[in-house]
Amino acid sequence: MTCRTAVALALGLSLLAACAHRPPTTVPALLDRVLPAPVLLLGEQHDAAEHQALQRDVVLALARRDQLGAVVMEMIEQGRSTQGLPSDADEARVREALGWTEQSGWPWPVYGPVVMAAVRSGVPVIGGNLPRAQMRSTMGQAELDGLVSESVLQRQRDGIRESHCGLLPESQIAPMTRIQLARDRSMAQTAAQALIPGKTVLLVAGNGHVREDLGVPLHLPASVGHKVVMAQAGTTKDASAPPADAVWQTPALPPRDHCAELKQRMPVR
């Protein structure tokens, strides 16, 4: 091999590598990159409308391919499901089956199109999140700390501190982290139970829950294959690659002072 040939080959390989890491720009291209997978975890930023639009489009695309087995959602409590409802069920009936009320904290106009896309496709929507009624008892279950390694546990605790802008008393950090761990475990268990051979279970949750190094993937059985897609609005301060198999880029959101908003809701004493 001549030097010129070697240089050309190296350049070609580097270009291929660059293309492999370039964010996909169409839903079919995204699915081609990450499928087949028994479980596909699709992360979002909750206030990015483009991310819920992506979820709806992924549901429809998987259904058209006859690859969608179920949709598991963080926004619905474990134990709730549309299983058994006809594909032409109206929204009121679907919301009743899922326990989706105005007090649930998740706006139906935002997530309803995702849910209804699955229902209309004849695919069950299943609640994956830890039920609210279990959260208080979960905070005191110290055995949950052992679900992950010490380093992951510490990173989860640091994340709780940071996301609450340092406003939480230190005594609440460990209990709040246990809720996070229990939610991840709950969603992992639900997705694993919903598996159908030859099809994909789509899990929709916040980016913090789907990330490969901290979230639901750590709680899935080793025998359950999975892929992670994280939707990202704009750029982040972190220069490292997101802990995912693919990233879906959307425009940056208007700047918000999250900590100022949080301080209004939980004033420092």
How many CB atoms within 10 Å of residue 262? Answer: 16
CA distance 78 to 99: 10
Q: What integer pLDDT is reported at residue 17 of this predicted model?
A: 41
Q: What integer pLDDT is reported at residue 1 of this predicted model?
A: 54
Burial class (CB in 10 A: 0-12, 13-18, 19+), 104: middle
Among 217, 243, 246, residue whose Cα is nearest residue 29: 246
Q: What integer pLDDT is reported at residue 231 of this predicted model?
A: 98
Residue type, 171: S
Distances from the Cα of 151 to the Cα of 7, 107, 156, 206, 221, angstroms: 42, 35, 9, 21, 20
> Is the bond leading into 28 cis (omega within 30 degrees of zero)?
no
Ordered by where they begin, the domains of the chain are 24-133+183-257 (3.40.50.11550)
Among 143, 137, 156, 154, residue whose Cα is nearest residue 209: 156
Whether the CB-CB separation of 191 and 216 falls below 8 Å is answered with yes
Q: Enumerate long-range contacts of 248-256, CB under 8 Å, 24 or more apart.
A: 248/23, 248/24, 248/30, 248/51, 248/54, 249/23, 250/48, 250/50, 250/51, 250/54, 251/50, 253/45, 253/47, 253/48, 256/47
Q: What integer pLDDT is reported at residue 15 of this predicted model?
A: 40
Q: Which residues of the chain have pLDDT under 50?
A: 6-20
Burial class (CB in 10 A: 0-12, 13-18, 19+), 264: exposed
Which helix (H) or strand (E) segment is 39 a member of? strand 39-44
CA distance 132 to 78: 10
86, two tokens: 């006809």
Taking only the tens place, the pLDDT of each residue in 62-101 is 999 999 999 999 999 999 999 999 999 999 999 999 999 9
Which helix (H) or strand (E) segment is 163 a member of? helix 150-163
Q: What integer pLDDT is reported at residue 239 of this predicted model?
A: 62
